[in-house]
Each structure stands twice: as C-alpha cells, then as structure tokens.
Structure 1
Amino acid sequence: MSSRESLRKHADLVDRMATSLGVDLQEEAIAGVISVDEITDAVLRCTDCPNPDHCVNALANQAVGGKPPEYCRNQDLLKKLVP
C-alpha cells in the first residue's frame, strides 16, 4: 500500500472511530477544542498501529462500546473528546 493510500485509510479509521464515540472531529476543530495538527498527529499515530484491521472489524460490527479500544494509539486523545 502506498503511503498516500495508507494515510487515507488511517485518516478514515481515526474519523470513523471518533464518530463511533460521538465525536465530530471537524466540529471539535472549528470550536477550537482540537487543532488540525492534533488530528494530523492522530492519523500518523494510527499509521503505526500493527493491526488496523482490528479497528476495521470492530467498527464494522459496531463493537467499540463507547470508548476507544485499549490498544488504540489515540485513546488518550479520544477519551478527552468523548462527550
């Protein structure tokens, strides 16, 4: 997978994970709660995950359960944003 494709895949995973937790990253950025740089960093952290397919499956099965998975490299950020 090219680096561009990988970034797109992980950007989608970060956004879908946030959405599944009730967080709209775009709205949070507009409101100044999170910066665009923080979102970019979250995507880059996600690219370091050794098993992104686990998130793909959890999101597909709606098995996130209201909190980010323990293995998620963005769990601290997402916990901060969850309403």
Structure 2
Amino acid sequence: MNFLEYLIGADVRTALMGRMMKKMGVDRQLKVVADHVAVTNRAVDRCRSCGHQDECQAWLDETPHADHPPAYCRNGDLIARLQFIR
C-alpha cells in the first residue's frame, strides 16, 4: 500500500466514524464532552485502525436505526457513554 492509498483509506474510515456517530445519535454529544478534540482524535484513531470497513459500510447502509453499534465497533464503549449525555 502506498501513502496515497493509506490517506484515501483513512478518509473513508473517518467518514464511517462520522456516519456511525450520527446514526447512533451522539454526534452532538461528542462535540461537547470535556476535551472533545482529544476524545474525537482518539475515536478517529480507533476507527482508522479497524479492519471492518466493508462490514461497517454495509451495516450503516442497511440499518435504518439501532440502539448500539455492531459488536466489532472499536468506538462502541465511547458511543455507549455518549448516549447518556442528553
């Protein structure tokens, strides 16, 4: 994999993370937690290092509503915590 392929892949995974946060209804909460920039950067890093991009894309496309992300989601714990912030 060359550097350009890595960057394109990283952008796809970052976009998937954004979609997951919106699907789970926590995108706004992510922006207001203490030290939200660092929390978001760690969440992006977890998503970028995930090997389930195709499954995630399919899940996001095929799931109209869900109470929790798929079991393989590396940000599942963060999403669960954010769901309690209203």
TM-score (norm 2): 0.77
Among 28, 31, 34, the residue aligned to 2:30: 28
CA distance in 2, matches of 1:64, 1:33: 27
1:62 alignment counterpart: 63
CA distance in 2, matches of 1:20, 1:50: 20
Identity of aligned residues (%): 30
Q: Give the count of matched residue pairs.
A: 81
CA distance in 2, matches of 1:11, 1:42: 9
CA distance in 2, matches of 1:33, 1:62: 30
Residues 24-51 of structure 1: CA deviation (Å, up to 9, x unaligned): 24x632x345511211111111122122
2:22 alignment counterpart: 19
When residues 68 and 58 of structure 1 are mapped into structure 2, their CA distance, relative to the original with a 3 A threshold, is: same
Moved more, 64-73 or 50-59: 64-73
- Is structure 2 residue 82 aligned with structure 1 residue 78? no
CA distance in 1, matches of 2:30, 2:18: 12
When residues 34 and 20 of structure 1 are mapped into structure 2, their CA distance, relative to the original with a 3 A threshold, is: farther
Q: CA RMSD in A?
A: 2.1
Extract unaligned runs of 5+ from structure 1.
none
